[in-house]
Amino acid sequence: MRQTKQKKIIQDVLEKLRYSHPTALDVLFETQKIDPSISKTTVYRNLRELSQKGLIWRIEEPSSMERYDVNTHSHAHFKCTKCSRIEDVDIDIFEIISTAFKEQKEGKLSNINIMLLGECSNCQKQD
C-alpha cells in the first residue's frame, strides 16, 4: 500500500481520534483542518483501503454511520444507548467465541465484531 501525504494525515487523524471511534465525516473534518485540499472521496477511499488491509477496523451499526477504530487487537465495543458514545472493552472475546464456534460449525473465524449496549456511567449519573 502506497503511503501518500493524504493517507499519512488520515492515519494521524485516526490516531488522534482513537478513543472517540470517529465517523468518516469526523475524519474528513479533522483532515481538512490540516490540509483543506483533501476531498471527501480521498478520505472515504483511504478509510476503505486501510480497513480492507486490516490496519483499522470498520465498526458497522445498522442504525447509524460506520465508525473507525485503530485498535485492531481482539476486543469488543460498548455503546451507550443514551449518548451514543462508543468505548473499547478489553475482553479477549476471540478465543472464547472461536472455541464455541469450532464446536458447532466447520470453518475458521477471522474476526469478531461485538457491540455491547447499555448506559455509560456518565449517563447513569445524570439520571
- Nearest residue to 47 via CA among 63, 62, 19, 66: 66
CATH classification for the domain delimited by 76-126, as one of 3.30.1490.190, 2.40.10.10, 3.40.1010.10, 2.60.40.10? 3.30.1490.190
Read off the pLDDT of residues 2-43 as tens digits, 9 standing for 90 and up: 788 999 999 999 999 998 999 999 999 999 999 999 999 999
Read off the pLDDT of residues 88-105 as tens digits, 9 standing for 90 and up: 988 877 778 888 888 887
**pLDDT, the chain, mean:** 89
For residues 6 and 38, the answer to whether their CB atoms sit within 8 Å is yes
Please list the residue range(s) of the chain that carry CATH number 3.30.1490.190: 76-126
For residues 56 and 68, the answer to whether their CB atoms sit within 8 Å is yes
Which 8-state DSSP code applies to residue 23? B
| Grid cell digits, residue 87 | 468505548
For residues 1 and 53, the answer to whether their CB atoms sit within 8 Å is yes
Residue whose cell numbers read 439520571: 127
